[in-house]
Amino acid sequence: MGPSCRLLPHGGYALIPTVLTSMAWFASIFQDGCDYAIIEGPVVQAITDDDDTVPWVEAGYAGFRTPLYNSLEDAWDITYTGQCLDYNMDKVTLDAAWNAGKAFAFLALVMGGGGTLFLWFSVCCVFSKATWRFAGYEVLLAAIFQAMAFLWFLNSMCTHRNTCSLSWGSKGDVAACALWALAALSILVYYPSPKVPSDALRQQQQRETTNPEISITGLVDQYPYDSATAATSPASQISSTYSHIAAGLPLEGDATATFLASPKKHRLSPKKPSSSGHLKNVEVL
């Protein structure tokens, strides 16, 4: 994996706006087109084609539903298993407020969905400060568009002695608007600096991985130190000790090869023999 792609380069903070925008996007699509508002008033008769027995309807951008009377509970209930009913365009007028609310809801869905997808790349890719703020502005636009979508409640079916109240779709949009705003705030107020090692440090780590250096200290009472041999031929004693150390090393390819091929790079420091006649400390640097 390259230096520009790794797990959580900005740390765990990047997950906060990412999760918030994901929740907002799911909340904004939590509607089926005919559960945005509950409409009451004289317009209900026009929506239901002169059915004056229905006290209210549940309506949305695509259509409406009529409730069914529950004689056991003496109440009108909505059944969500059926399809939405189409508006009779001869009796219902979809005015500018209706179309504006629908357009803003669509823009919020597009901007928020794009911002959510874009932020998920921060989980594995490094964002510059400008890119991070760009994502914040995109999510902020989604929050503004989501709020502007409530212009729908100014349409003619919600005025002129008619009333509209929130239903599941509009409640989901309220939650989405709040989540978009929180996500945008978390992005714009703080930029998590990427926790990626510098090029020099990364190159050093690569060199250590391919050709590691070895440091051995504290080999106590493992290799015999013959004082008589060391006095007459110290070079042979040091060579013998090198052989013992090399034989005791794990065969890791480059590490052992480097140690044996480049003895001048290491320093063998035989100390005075202990009472048992062994080396007290052997240090290879």
Q: Which residue has the higher pLDDT, 51 or 222?
A: 51
Of 140-149, 195-204, 275-284, the range with the highest mean pLDDT is: 140-149
pLDDT of 105 over the 90 cut: yes
- The sheet carrying 64-65 orders its strands as 64-65, 56-59, 37-40, 163-166
Q: Which residue has the higher pLDDT, 62 or 82?
A: 62
Q: Given this model, what pLDDT does residue 9 score?
A: 81
pTM: 0.65
CB of 30 closer than 8 Å to CB of 145 = no
Task: Return the percentage of the chain with pLDDT > 90, whole number.
Answer: 42
Q: What is the mean pLDDT of residues 186-214?
A: 70
Task: Return the percentage of the chain with pLDDT > 70, whole number.
Answer: 67
pLDDT tens digits, 258-273 = 444 444 444 444 444 4
Q: Given this model, what pLDDT does residue 218 score?
A: 47
Burial of 135 from C-beta contacts in 10 A (0-12 / 13-18 / 19+) = buried
Q: Report which DSSP code applies to 40.
A: E
Give residue 202's pLDDT band: very low, low, confident or very high (50, 70, 90). Answer: low
Burial of 234 from C-beta contacts in 10 A (0-12 / 13-18 / 19+) = exposed
- Taking residue 30's Cβ as centre, other Cβ atoms within 10 Å add up to 15
pLDDT tens digits, 20-73 = 999 999 999 888 889 999 999 999 988 888 777 889 999 999 899 999 888 888
Instruction: Sort strands 68-70 and 75-77 into parallel, antiparallel or unpaired.
Output: antiparallel
Residues 6+ apart with CB under 8 A from 38: 56, 57, 58, 59, 164, 165, 166, 167
Distance CA 123, CA 242 (A): 49
Give residue 193's pLDDT band: very low, low, confident or very high (50, 70, 90). Answer: confident
Each domain of the chain, given as residue ranges in start order, spans 12-188, 213-285
Q: Topology of domain 12-188, per CATH?
A: Butyryl-CoA Dehydrogenase, subunit A; domain 3 (1.20.140)
Give residue 204's pLDDT band: very low, low, confident or very high (50, 70, 90). Answer: low
Q: Report which DSSP code applies to 1.
A: -
